[in-house]
Amino acid sequence: MRAVIVESFGGAEVMRWGEIETPVPSPGEVLIRIRAAAVNPVDWKIREGNLARLFPCKFPLIPGWDAAGVIAALGEGVTGFSIGDRVWSFCRKPDIQWGTYAEYVVMTADAVAMMPASLDFAQASAIPLAGLTAWQSLFDVADIRPGQVVLIHAGAGGVGSLAVPLAKWAGATVVSTARAENHDYVRRLGADHVIDYTTRDFVAATRDLFPEGVDFAYGTVGGEVLARSYQVVKPGGILVSITDKTDRDEAERLGIRVKYLFVKPNGQQLRRLAALLDDGTLLPPLVEEMRLDQAAEALGRNRRGHGRGKIVLMVD
């Protein structure tokens, strides 16, 4: 099969376009013929070796964790799927080596689900990692409830654009940060209040809206933004980070809870997300299509950030 291959840690220079053996599904696994694979920040972080301590990597390595495609083969014992089914999956494995920037990927069947009927492959591929991250942060960790107030950073981004409507669906009042040109988009997603973080201090703006603070702050942006987000959470509330590790000492001082989350594959939750997309609760993501052999350029653009929606790599 054709794939984007990384031979060692580094920049764009370590990536090449080549042929590699097509994988074969083991018992309990399925083989997916990939039609589209989304680009995520974790992809270039792995390529550069930034996550080597967190995730063991083996070379040669194929980047990519998001995929939408069709079932090409079933491993022994797999039920509930048929050859040709349109599926999607978050394809993270214990050892990082065989990802989704390729024509095929093997994945455990319990991490795969039928993709939303209303979406095409490009749209569907943009959701699994971001959608599961948002779902697990909001519901498994923060356990947000109707009537609560939440602050979601970068509401126009890959995770934020799903977290905003999910929080609204759960009955929360949603505050989000975004550049001015993305305000209308974030409001369409369901945000009640949008703060232009380039012209206003988000801490002061959030406290102006809700002097007591928010019940849940979602750290989709790290660094100083995450460090200052502790200041907007009310006592007893929670800050969830998906970027940097959280500061438990600071949280204890302020009387709030903190949690660092790294998303896990979950086919059942993907089925929940598919239903919400098909019934219109969640909007289809904005995507920009690029060719699989343009992966190095796509990773470079993702690394520079500040985009709306997702870049996806189309596989012929």
Amino acid (1-letter code) at residue 139: F
Short-list 57, 42, 46, 62, CA closest to 102: 62
- For the chain, what are the domain ranges? 2-127+285-314, 130-260
Phi-psi category of residue 182: left, alpha or beta, with phi > 0 → left and psi -120 to 50 → alpha: alpha
d(CA 245, CA 251): 12
pLDDT tens for each residue of 217-237:
999 999 999 999 999 999 999
What's the pLDDT tens digit per position in 87-102? Answer: 999 999 988 999 999 9
300 CB-side CA count, 13 A:
9
Q: 168 - beta bridge partners?
A: none
Q: What separation, in Å, do the N-terminal and C-terminal C-alpha atoms of the chain show? A: 11
Q: What is the pLDDT of residues 182-225, one digit of tens each?
A: 999 999 999 999 999 999 999 999 999 999 999 999 999 999 99
Model pLDDT for residues 297-315, shown as the tens digit of each residue: 999 999 987 566 789 999 9
Residue 268: partners with Cβ closer than 8 Å, 6 or more residues away: 113
Q: What is the pLDDT of residue 54?
A: 86
Give pLDDT, residue 33: 98
Tell me, what DSSP letter sits at residue 102? Answer: B
Hunting for tokens 């009310």 — which residue is that?
A: 234
Per-residue pLDDT tens over the stretch 241-285: 999 999 999 999 999 999 999 999 999 999 999 999 999 999 888
Is 34's pLDDT higher than 60?
yes
Q: Model pTM?
A: 0.95
Label residue 11 by pLDDT band (50, 70, 90).
very high
CATH H superfamily, domain 2-127+285-314: Medium-chain alcohol dehydrogenases, catalytic domain (3.90.180.10)
Q: What is the mean pLDDT of residues 136-152?
A: 98
The mean of the pLDDT values for the chain is: 96
Q: What is the pLDDT of residue 306?
A: 57
Angle (CA) 21-126-87 rounded to 5° is 60
Q: Which CATH class is domain 130-260?
A: alpha beta
Residue whose C-alpha is closest to residue 35's, from 265, 308, 287, 282: 287
Q: What is the mean pLDDT of residues 110-114?
A: 98
pLDDT 10s digits, 156-182: 988 999 999 999 999 999 999 999 999
